[in-house]
Chain A
Amino acid sequence: MQLAAAAIEPIPLSRVDWDDRRFAIESFRPADDIRASLDGFGLLSPPWVLPKVGDKFAIVDGFKRMQWLRERGEERVICAVFPADAGVWKLWARRLEARLFGPPLNTAEKAQVAAIVSSGLFEGKWLGRLLDGFDLPRRPELLQRWMRLSQADRSILEAAALETIHERAALELARWPESAEDRSEVLSILEHLRCSASIQVEIIERFKDISMMRGMPVGEVLRCAEVRTILDHPEWNRREKTQALRLWFDVVRLPRLKARERRFSEQLHRTPPPPGAQLTPPPSFEGDRWRMEVVFSSGDDLRERLGQLRSWSLSSGFHALLAPEPVRSPRSASD
């Protein structure tokens, strides 16, 4: 791909079209670092501009630098001025090529790049190269999620850029909930709890699950008394609140499993194994692989404990622990 060389020449800032942001990739975070650099060293490389009709210039690369100059009241700036007929896709290709080897994109920038590369400007090997280079998915439905994020609420993009919410959570939040108010509510919960990426995604999914399970708007779930009580708890730190919220999710989503766990626990309390032995059911009671752990200090001690365990294993209480009557569906009564 050939692009005519840019001319390095000064242009008056008064001829910059500040509203033309078609080549902008907004960072959605404060530009303190670059401003500090500019304050210390000035421009290290010339911004790129493209002549427009009406004797104006569109900025292609260097929006922050140009803005810094503008705020300083500079009148002229040395720019790389591309030929007016350079072609949008060639300029984008060059701009993105430069970004490929620059500092990593933040999530908000990556979403904007996803929207650009999949806008139809690029195809074939160029498209593949850019998608791979920016670690974007090739599958259309996954790429679509990135494009959707590029159009998300400013607050989501800012949170993603600042890594207050993780990439996966931002992608989820861009597609759900549907109302901006509810998205904002979920975002504020995530910002409040500051948990890991997987837990952020889990929180978003669980609110959706519960909203769908209960057939109620997500806003009602987000603002329900139980959730508020957890989030506003005066003594819990964010980890404790996260833990409490996840437990609440499980109680709401898995009522019969939780009931079974309670019954198991109560029954175990009534019919405890011999001292030094611990019975653990299969995870979620799925399958028939139960685990018994025995602590002992000597061969004699082990033999004695195994004898006690044998007696215990023959008791009706033990059998009830392993095979209780299944929990009945709460819905069945009304059917």
Chain B
Amino acid sequence: MRIPRPGIVRIEEAVAPGSVANQLRKNLPEAVFEVVNKIPDGTPFDPRLLEVVEYRGRFLRQCPGTRHYLCCGYRILHIGVQCSLECTYCILQAYFNQPNLRLFGNTDEMLQLLADELASHPHELHRFGTGEFTDSLLLDPLTGLSCRLVPFFAGRSNAILELKTKTDFIDQLLDLPHGGNSIVAWSLNSPTIRKSEESRAASISERLRAARRCAEAGYKLAFHFDPLIEHPGWQAGYGDVLDRLFEAVDPGKIVYISLGAFRFMPELKSVIQARHPRSRIVYGEFIRGLDGKMRYFRDIRVELFRFMQERIHRADPDLCVYLCMEGEDIWRDVFGFSPEERGGLPSMLDRAVHERMGIAPGKP
């Protein structure tokens, strides 16, 4: 896949000497570089623009789960905001005050905070990921950020890194000393949805080919079928992708697979209608969930999840499959148990990491 390269790189002077800015200068010789004192929020959208700012917020965050649904306990390593893949369902479209691609240039500070955090809680397993507010690998060939992050996590007994992407930009990862602590993860969808709603992202084949190469390089993998979208032929579409997935990679290399049904803040509907008038994803059978988001009526979710779970179970009955932001009633209908009966969802994922990656913090 190819994405348009940024034509303008605007950098705040505080981070102009940093490694992210230096890598961008090296890898984008054709771009115009501007160093400014401060990049304000609300800069009008410019698809050619990449902003590099000194981030003053929280680099380390909890996954923004809500109390009504069970959260995986994933932690966010906040490296930047926005994404140029423009998937129709993406929540980032609603970030009106930061519409441009933005990276945080004070990486040293972020890594120091991360090191302190890991050191201060040595007996907990920390599952960090960078793919919450941006695609983990979209700009990685230009920034080389993974070349710092992956070795940083390598060999640690209490932390793993998950790089989640819809790209196939993995060349820079292949020779890194990952130490078995990094998971490369792909968001997958049915071919129909990939074509209509994720048209700028890598094709399913490209993603799976990239996954196989990462597995060959010793990385563990994860896959996220999120958002699952009900559409005509969804069983055939998702079934086909699962077949191709398990043909492409050994299920034993997969640490977990998550399932999440499409859900959205009500305000996102009009944004999607305006930006993607041909998209039909917001016209499903949605009800207002306990967290205020629009969700498929529960029976539809159960049907989607059961189908996926059964197909995955056929390929690897021991593979950890989990639901993203669902209630105990849905878990019971899909799996026959609730995570609470097994120590909670975060513990289930910690166990999957232990079993498939051999990583577990020592007891205090």
- Give chain A's interface residues, CB within 8 Å of chain B: 139-141, 209, 212-213, 215, 253-257, 260, 283-288, 323, 326-329, 331-332, 334-335
> B303–A332 contact, CB under 8 A?
yes
B50 CB → nearest A CB, Å = 21
Query: With the chains together, A141 CA to B96 CA distance in Å?
Result: 10
> B299–A335 contact, CB under 8 A?
no
Q: Verify if B290 is at the interface (C-beta below 8 Å from A).
A: yes
When C-beta atoms are compared, the residue in chain A nearest to B69 turns out to be A287
Query: With the chains together, A212 CA to B273 CA distance in Å?
Result: 11
> B333–A326 contact, CB under 8 A?
yes
Known contacts A286-B287, A326-B303; is A335 also within 8 Å of B236 by CB? Answer: yes
Interface stretch, picked from B130-138, B227-235, B314-322, is: B227-235
For the complex of A and B, 6 pairs with smallest distance between CB atoms: A326-B299, A284-B287, A288-B329, A212-B283, A335-B235, A257-B297
Query: With the chains together, A323 CA to B298 CA distance in Å?
Result: 12
Contact flags B205-240 to A (C-beta < 8 A → 1, else 0):
000000000000000000000000010111110000
> A285–B230 contact, CB under 8 A?
no
Known contacts A285-B297, A326-B299; is A257 also within 8 Å of B230 by CB? Answer: no
* B236 / chain A contacts, CB cutoff of 8 Å: 335
- Give chain B's interface residues, CB within 8 Å of chain A: 44, 68, 96, 230, 232-236, 274, 280, 283-285, 287-290, 295, 297-300, 302-303, 327-329, 333
Q: Which one of A141, A212, A323, A328 contacts B303 once the chains associate, using CB atoms below 8 Å?
A: A328
A211 CB → nearest B CB, Å = 9
Could you list 20 further interchain pairs (A-B, Cβ under 8 angstroms) beyond the known A286-B288, A286-B289, A326-B299?
A139-B96, A209-B283, A212-B280, A212-B283, A253-B285, A254-B285, A254-B297, A256-B300, A257-B287, A284-B297, A285-B297, A286-B298, A287-B68, A287-B290, A288-B329, A326-B333, A329-B303, A331-B232, A334-B232, A335-B232
When C-beta atoms are compared, the residue in chain A nearest to B332 turns out to be A323
* B274 / chain A contacts, CB cutoff of 8 Å: 141
* A286 / chain B contacts, CB cutoff of 8 Å: 287-290, 295, 298, 327
Known contacts A253-B285, A335-B233, A335-B236; is A260 also within 8 Å of B96 by CB? Answer: no
* A213 / chain B contacts, CB cutoff of 8 Å: 280, 283-284
* B96 / chain A contacts, CB cutoff of 8 Å: 139, 141
Task: List 7 A-B residue pairs with CB atoms under 8 Å apart, sorted by A's residue number.
Answer: A213-B284, A285-B299, A286-B289, A287-B68, A326-B333, A332-B303, A335-B233
* B290 / chain A contacts, CB cutoff of 8 Å: 286-287
Query: With the chains together, A141 CA to B272 CA distance in Å?
Result: 13
* B300 / chain A contacts, CB cutoff of 8 Å: 256, 329
* A284 / chain B contacts, CB cutoff of 8 Å: 287-288, 297-298
Determine which residue in A256, A286, A328, A329 has the highest number of CB atoms from chain B within 10 A of its CB, and name it.
A286
> A323–B285 contact, CB under 8 A?
no
Q: Which one of A215, A256, A285, A326 contacts B285 once the chains associate, using CB atoms below 8 Å?
A: A256
When C-beta atoms are compared, the residue in chain B nearest to A324 turns out to be B299
When C-beta atoms are compared, the residue in chain A nearest to B290 turns out to be A287
* B233 / chain A contacts, CB cutoff of 8 Å: 335
Q: Which one of A256, A283, A287, A331 contacts B299 once the chains associate, using CB atoms below 8 Å?
A: A256
Known contacts A209-B283, A253-B285, A256-B297; is A287 also within 8 Å of B329 by CB? Answer: yes
Query: With the chains together, A212 CA to B282 CA distance in Å?
Result: 9
* A254 / chain B contacts, CB cutoff of 8 Å: 285, 287, 297
Known contacts A287-B68, A287-B329; is A331 also within 8 Å of B283 by CB? Answer: no
When C-beta atoms are compared, the residue in chain B nearest to A325 turns out to be B299
B66 CB → nearest A CB, Å = 12
When C-beta atoms are compared, the residue in chain B nearest to A335 turns out to be B235
> B302–A326 contact, CB under 8 A?
yes
* B289 / chain A contacts, CB cutoff of 8 Å: 286
* A285 / chain B contacts, CB cutoff of 8 Å: 297-299
